[in-house]
């Protein structure tokens, strides 16, 4: 009986350890981008606690993810949402971004932005 239990325990532990060594994939951000991408500019951007971004557009599509903190995010015509650490986002080309603000008044927020460029576009333009 001890041999059978030892064998079952051994197989179970081997299975658990194999699962921990598996590569996993999680789809974070589907985005339809209607342009050729010739270059990608990647930036890590940090907003101090309570910092808000002015209304703006991006002359190129932007995809990214929240490295730390949380973002109050709103694209014109869509509902505002809160993005948390690990969440991804997509900002379409030439669409008004109404809010991209640090949602916390106490801690800084950092995100990684991938600017998908067809030519030599600016990363951001302010909208007045």
Q: Which CATH superfamily is domain 29-126 in?
A: Jelly Rolls (2.60.120.10)
| Structure confidence by residue, pLDDT tens digits, 13-69 | 566 666 678 888 777 777 778 789 999 999 999 999 999 999 999 999 999 999 999
- The model's pTM is 0.78
Answer yes or no: is pLDDT of 83 > 70: yes
Write down the pLDDT at residue 60: 96
Confidence of residue 6 (pLDDT cuts 50, 70, 90): low
Compare 2 and 35 and report the one with higher pLDDT. Answer: 35
Write down the pLDDT at residue 71: 98
**Average pLDDT of every residue of the chain:** 89
Strand order in the sheet with 56-57: 81-84, 70-75, 97-102, 56-57, 125-126
């Amino acid at each position: 009986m001890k041999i059978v239990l030892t064998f079952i325990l051994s197989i179970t532990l081997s299975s658990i350890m194999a699962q921990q060594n598996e590569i996993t994939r999680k789809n974070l951000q589907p985005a339809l981008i209607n342009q050729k991408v010739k270059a990608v500019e990647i930036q890590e951007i940090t907003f101090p606690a309570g910092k808000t971004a002015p209304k703006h557009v991006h002359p190129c599509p932007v995809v990214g993810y929240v490295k730390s903190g949380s973002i109050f995010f709103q694209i014109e015509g869509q509902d505002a949402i809160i993005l948390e650490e690990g969440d991804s986002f997509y900002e379409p080309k030439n669409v008004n971004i109404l809010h991209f603000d640090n949602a916390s008044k106490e801690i800084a927020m950092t995100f990684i932005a991938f600017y998908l460029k067809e030519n030599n576009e600016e990363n951001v333009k302010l909208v007045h």
